[in-house]
Chain A
Amino acid sequence: MNPVLWRRVGHYGFIAFCAAAFIFLLAPILVIVPLSFNAEPYFTFTEGMLRLDPEAYSLRWYRNVVEDEAWSRALVNSLVIGSAATLLATTLGTLAALGLASPAMPGRALITGILISPMVTPIIIVAVGMFFFYSSIGLGQSLTGLILAHAALGAPFVVITVTATLSGFDPTLLRAAASLGAGPLRRFFRVQLPLIAPGVFSGGLFAFATSFDEVVVVLFMGGLEQRTIPRQMWSGIREQISPSILAVAVFLIAFALVALFTVQWLRRRSTGR
């Protein structure tokens, strides 16, 4: 058989395979967007929807979510926990990344390993351990406990992104500032921070997204009063799956897109492209 033909078949096969893979990646997410506007309480496209009949579409599930106090309470909890955890994780994570970037840092590999470990430990183990530990010190079923837990889960992302940004940072700038008489704090806030800000910000965004999407720890540690959006979704999916869930899902997809494009934009800024 003709090798050129073979190569062509191989090439088109490869393209077809990749196309299928991308459909697999994206289709599930795309499918729920139109379904969230279904006028009927079903999870399939009704005939009316396929005919693009405006009657078949409605905002009722969005209205349901907006009017349901449980969802708004969950949103407030998610935002409170997410912001507090992000603040904590970003501050501590940025400081640690600065330390790790110093050539004088002893035992860097080991310390990095420890700092990153929350990110790669199976979440079930983290959740069970935290449930035992935080209830034993009286922080079970409390916002404080969840904030601390989420900050620990988010900090590694800050360490990693800030470390990456710092690797492109020219330390001679600090020496130059020092020679001009700037003290260490001034050097940090005036010279270094503005330059690594994109990394800090995207690390913070990662940390926030982690908290905003986290459900296992909340399941084990949180009570009725600490329900977050993912926790509310979890009961919705488990117990009474209604298209309201899809409306919330579309909101979360929008959030993901905003976060993603912000991080991309920041990355481009920091790499100077």
Chain B
Amino acid sequence: MRIKGPRATAVALTLPLLAFIGLSFVAPLGTLLSKSAYDPNVANILPRTLAALDGWSGGGLPAEAAFAAIAEELPKARQARTLVRVAGPVNRLKSGLRRVLARTARQVEKTEYAGSWRAALIGIDPAWQEPDTWLAIQAAGARFTLRHYLQALDLERRPDGDIGLRPEQSRIYVPLLWRTLLVSLGVTLLCLAIGYPIAHLIATSPPKRSNLLLLMVLVPFWTSLLVRTTAWIVLLQRQGVINSLLVSMGITPDGERLELIYNMTGTFTAMTHVLLPFMVLPLYSVMRSIPPTHMAAAASLGANPVQGFLRVYLPQTLPGIGAGGLLVFILAIGYYITPALVGGRSGQLISNMIAYHVQTSLNWGLAAALSSILLVAVIGLYLIYSRLIGIDRVRLS
């Protein structure tokens, strides 16, 4: 069978980009998903120790073979500079073990074998006589694990195998997810409240003025995100433009300048500013296509402006509200730069926590799990968006 010409041509034309996006974009997302549940490092670096622990399940101490194996494998890992890959995951399962592993790896090199590795290791650090230490190594040795997802949802597996909530002071991710969702929702609503009237004004102005007003939305849209964030820092600081203005007008005393930045206020203000054009542009393109005669017709049928607006105009702008709202919401829940720069402690969002785990705590499994949860949420929204509006109808004004 011969493939028809135009069809083959069309496919052949899209194929290079499809392959490119697959490699440079989809593959990274795949890596991310796999990192969230798959970590072969400990299993690869401590194979003999894990084999010796096979079948042992926390009753008393493991056999001498396990002590001997780890006494051989830890220094080897240290030499190969792969000890970090073991120490990190094990330490996350039982805090303090990073130090124990590192110290042991170092000391064992200088220790003469004297008949019992068990005695030698316990001599180096008493942590080796606690079954919990070995359980942590065993658990970290599992190649596949769901514990990052559990942690991302503030859950944990109890010793008896049940899944339950973490202790209260370490439940941090679910509240942060909620905060992120609420902030995103708040920013979306704020953008809608500000964006709807101005989109309407632009859509109903005469062409010349309409173009000018549209430019006033497009200038911030094209201006670098960092520039806009900088601008807000300049405006909102204690000694910034707004506070100085308020002081010089005598509205606030010099000693009581408002705290507008490095908190939630800062995050909200700057995010709304950055995302507002993404709300205005889709609204505008929908409103432009609504003939003004509709409102006139409603008025001539005796509807007052409020009724006319609610019954005739608003329903026709719903696609624009949906498009703009979802776009702003999706962008907001992944926001990183603005909260990091103007959010202070209280204005941080889930993305800042992901960055923290990638760059500072090096808990890549957890970072990947949090990202995956966010990704699933976004794909869900994306599907709703395309069901409602059609993704291929995105336009750039």
Contact = CB atoms under 8 A, between A and B. Distances in A.
Closest 4 CB pairs of A and B: A122-B334, A99-B13, A129-B28, A28-B231
Contacts of A197: none
Contacts of B213: 22
Contacts of A151: 20, 24
Contact of B25 (A28, A117, A160): A117
A14 B374 contact: no
Contacts of B237: 43
Interface in A122-152: 122-134, 136, 148-149, 151-152
A152 B23 CA distance: 9
Contact of B222 (A93, A122, A260): A260
Q: Is the interface of B mostly helix, strand, loop or mixed?
A: helix
B333 interface: yes
Interface stretch (A59-67, A68-76, A108-116, A175-183): A108-116
Given A44-B240, A128-B371, A257 B219 contact: yes
B116 interface: no
B334 A260 contact: no
Interface string A223-264: 000000010011001100100011001001101110110001
B227 A32 contact: yes
Interface in B346-397: 351, 354-355, 358-359, 364, 367-368, 371, 374-375, 378, 382, 386, 390-392, 394-396
Interface string A200-219: 00000010010011011001
A63 B255 CA distance: 35
Contact of A28 (B10, B26, B198, B273): B273
Interface in B291-341: 304-305, 327, 330-331, 333-337, 341
A45 B216 contact: no
Contact of B239 (A42, A160, A206, A209): A42
B14 A105 contact: yes
A230 B320 CA distance: 32
B147 interface: no
A61 to B, nearest CB: 13
A249 B233 CA distance: 13
B29 interface: yes
B186 interface: no
Nearest to A259: B222
Interface string A8-34: 001000110110011011111101100
Interface string A85-112: 0001000110110111011111011011
Nearest to A209: B222
B197 interface: yes
B28 A122 contact: no
A233 B219 CA distance: 20
B32 interface: yes
Contacts, number: 288
B391 A123 contact: no
Nearest to B390: A109
Contact of B17 (A3, A93, A121, A149): A93
A126 B237 CA distance: 31
Interface string B189-224: 000001101100100000000000101111111111
B106 interface: no
Interface stretch (B1-9, B64-72, B74-82, B163-171): B1-9
B226 interface: yes
B10 A249 contact: no
Interface in B1-53: 4, 6-7, 9-18, 20-21, 23-32, 35
B354 A128 contact: yes
Given A29-B227, A213-B226, A246-B230, A118 B21 contact: yes
Contact of A45 (B26, B220, B241, B396): B241
Nearest to B9: A102
B367 to A, nearest CB: 6
Interface in B221-273: 221-235, 237, 239-241, 244, 273
B216 A252 contact: no
B218 to A, nearest CB: 5
A111 B234 CA distance: 43
A31 B234 contact: yes
Contact of B396 (A113, A157, A213, A233): A157
Given A28-B273, A31-B241, A215-B337, 17 more contacts: A10-B305, A35-B241, A98-B13, A109-B392, A111-B18, A117-B25, A117-B382, A124-B336, A125-B371, A129-B32, A152-B20, A212-B224, A219-B355, A237-B229, A237-B230, A246-B230, A249-B231
A17 to B, nearest CB: 6
A159 interface: yes
B276 interface: yes
B386 A113 contact: yes
B227 A249 contact: yes
B362 to A, nearest CB: 12
Contact of B223 (A17, A24, A27, A252): A252
A126 B7 contact: no
A256 B198 contact: no
A10 B390 CA distance: 35
A133 B194 CA distance: 40
B371 A124 contact: yes
Contacts of A125: 29, 32, 334, 354, 371, 374-375, 378
A51 interface: no
